[in-house]
Structure 1
Amino acid sequence: MTRIASSARIDPKAVVEDGAVIGENAIIGPLSYVGADVVLGDGVQLMHHATVEGATRLGPGCQVFPMAVIGGAPQSVRHDASQTRLEVGRNCIFREGVTINTGSSHGGGITVVGDDNLFLANSHVGHDCRIGNGVILSNNVMIGGHVVVHDKVILSGGAAIHQFVQIGRQAFVGGLAGVVNDVIPYAMIVDNPAMMGGLNVVGMQRAGIEREEIHLVRKAYKTIFSSGLILENAELARAEFGGKSHAVDEMLRFILEREAERSLTTPGSRRRKGAA
């Protein structure tokens, strides 16, 4: 049975299926659609022509702009059409044309999005993904299924993330980058195919990380990627820098303790202009 808070405002041209739950002070605009298994938290706002469907829960304060489709079925030929879920935290913004899929029957059955995330126009999150807090997807970013994106990552316009990739905390992925392997925390990713162009020092500074700790991260980074023996080098870096920096420890855990389907994105030289 539908449960609609008395303070919710629903345009008469909107469609709210029987069974939906609408929180206090929610606003549902004209020609928007809310499915029968949807739960909208307090203060959620759906603009005109917005769609929230499937077994989807939007936390308080989320905004869904026109033509966005939140909670669509997974785009997977292996999915068996059983009901799967999408869980979204607080204060997420989904701009025009954004699509977020529910989980799949073969991948855990749930897609999870954290708090305070910004999804710009026409960005896409595939089935069974895990998106952290404070993440920004710029226009036309494409994230394949089963991807994990940690807190405060920025994905620039047109970046494409391969399925099963993990992107570490506060990494920055440049525009049009094609990311096919895992990305360590605090990395700066450029080019297509993607390579690591250094560390996201500006992001670390903006996060309030002190200069001394950034210096330690740089030293650990140089040790880790000084040769192709990344795991061995990471063990050396742990022996030298372990316990001295939270950021370094986080980077080392990501490399040494992750359960990974993909290899690591590594540093490289930009291809010369005109090179084959």
Structure 2
Amino acid sequence: MIDAKAIVDIKAEIAEDVQIGPFSVIGADVTIGSGTVIGPHVVMKGPVTIGKDNHIYQFTSIGEDPQDKKYADEKTSLVIGDRNVIREFATLHRGTLQDHAETRIGDDNLFMAYTHVAHDCVIGNNVIMANGASLAGHVHLCDNSILGGFTLVHQFTQIGTFSFSAMGSAITQDVPPYVMVGGRPTRPHGINSVGMERSGSSPEATRLIRKAYKILYKNNLRLEDAIEEMEDLAGECDEISNMVSFLRNVTRGILR
């Protein structure tokens, strides 16, 4: 299952059924779970832990040193879950000691060609990063969020669940759950009703999220006052509770 032209360090831990293509280089301290397919010309530098049934395409760089001038060769890691698809020329870097020393990626995510995940990012499950989308350090992408092609995300930014960014967005502040953003400068443009419908959210939940969006963006309220008004709706559906919880923990303000 490992091509004779691949270079695999003897300290790497690789499940018996893992496939590794020609000219790939797998370093020490790399662990790869069963069912994972590694294409040709892939470079992995540990410590890296990769789960089961991932598909990593050719010319990707997995677990390289973080692009941070403070980094001084400390032992940090990259952890990738199960069933992720990582396409050509994607780059996923390890963490730094300035955070939790770990970049973490969940399950069932799609990283299209030329995407970049910088040091200390935390990515949930079922996330899509379209071609050329790039995360600076310490970004958190919540479950089911989608970044359109060539979206750029500022460091320390949080992207809420089921949020959606249009092609070419430049995100410099937190994006609340269920909100769509786009344009230059990037601004909110309604809710991701299609994503909510596909997730199984009820029509009533979508109606309440629309109401919350108006409170947040149309009523000229301070964020604290908008949250307080939205809390009156929080008991009516989980989606509103998720939004309120997110807004109470924003770190950079929200995109408005």
The Cα of 1:54 is off from its aligned counterpart by 1.8
Distance 2:230 2:29 in 1: 49
Matching residue's letter, 1:214: T
Match of 1:167 among 159, 162, 177: 159
Q: Tell me, yes or no, if the aligned pair for 2:174 and 2:250 is still in contact at 8 Å.
A: no
Is 1:25 aligned to 2:17, yes or no? yes
One-letter amino acid of the counterpart of residue 265, structure 1: L
Deviation (angstroms), 1:224: 2.3
Q: Which runs of 5+ in 2 are unaligned?
A: none
Matches of 2:97 and 2:241, distance apart in 1: 35
Q: Say whether 1:198 aligns with 2:185.
A: no
Q: CA deviation at 1:193?
A: 2.4
- Counterpart of 1:265 in structure 2 is 255
Q: What amino acid does structure 2 have at the position aligned with 1:201?
A: S
Q: Does 1:234 align with 2:227?
A: yes
TM alignment of 1:1-276, pairs within 5 A: 9-225=1-217, 226-239=219-232, 241-256=233-248, 258=249, 260=251, 262-266=252-256
Question: TM-score, normalising length from structure 1?
Answer: 0.91
| Counterparts of 1:147 and 1:34, CA distance in 2 | 27
Q: Which structure 1 residue ranges, 5 or more long, are not aligned?
A: 1-8, 267-276
Matched AA of 1:233: A
159-168 or 228-237: which moved more?
228-237
Contact preservation (8 Å) 1:180, 1:193: no
The alignment's C-alpha RMSD in Å is: 0.9
Q: Work out whether residues 154 and 173 of structure 2, in 8 Å CA contact, stay in contact via their aligned partners in 1.
A: yes
**Whole-Å Cα distance in 1 between the matches of residues 165 and 38 of structure 2?**
29
Structure 1 residue runs of 4 or more that deviate by more than 3 Å after TM superposition: none
Structure 2 Cα separation of the partners of residues 85 and 192 of structure 1? 35
**Native 8 Å contact 1:179 1:192 kept in 2:** no
Q: Could you tell me how far apart the structure 1 residues matched to 2:64 and 2:211 are?
A: 45
Query: Quick one: distance in 2 between partners of 1:237 and 1:82?
Result: 44
Computing the radius of gyration from Cα coordinates, the structure with the larger value is 1
* In structure 1, distance between residues paired with 2:167 and 2:62: 24
Aligned counterparts of 2:228 and 2:221: Cα–Cα separation in 1? 13
Per-residue CA distance 1:188-240 (angstroms, 9 max, x = gap): 0101221111100111111111111110111122122211412112101212x
CA offset at residue 259 of structure 1? 5.1
Q: Distance in 2 between matches of 1:172 and 1:62?
A: 24
Identity across matched positions, percent? 35
TM-score (norm 2): 0.97
CA contact (8 A) 1:204 1:214 kept: yes
Q: Secondary structure at the match of 2:48?
A: strand
* SS of residue paired to 2:62: strand
What is the distance in 1 between the residues matched to 2:189 and 2:182? 6
1:92-132 C-alpha deviation (Å, 9 max, x unpaired):
11100000000012222000000000000000000000000
Whether the aligned pair in 1 keeps the contact of 2:100 and 2:120 (CA below 8 Å) is yes
| 8 A contact 1:54–1:73 mirrored in 2 | no
Q: How many residues are treated as equivalent by the alignment?
A: 255
**Residues in 2 aligned to 1:220 and 1:79: alpha-carbon distance in whole angstroms:** 42
* Preserved contact between residue 159 and residue 179 of structure 1 (Cα < 8 Å): yes
Q: Is the 8 A contact 1:139 1:158 kept in 2?
A: yes
Distance 1:122 1:220 in 2: 35
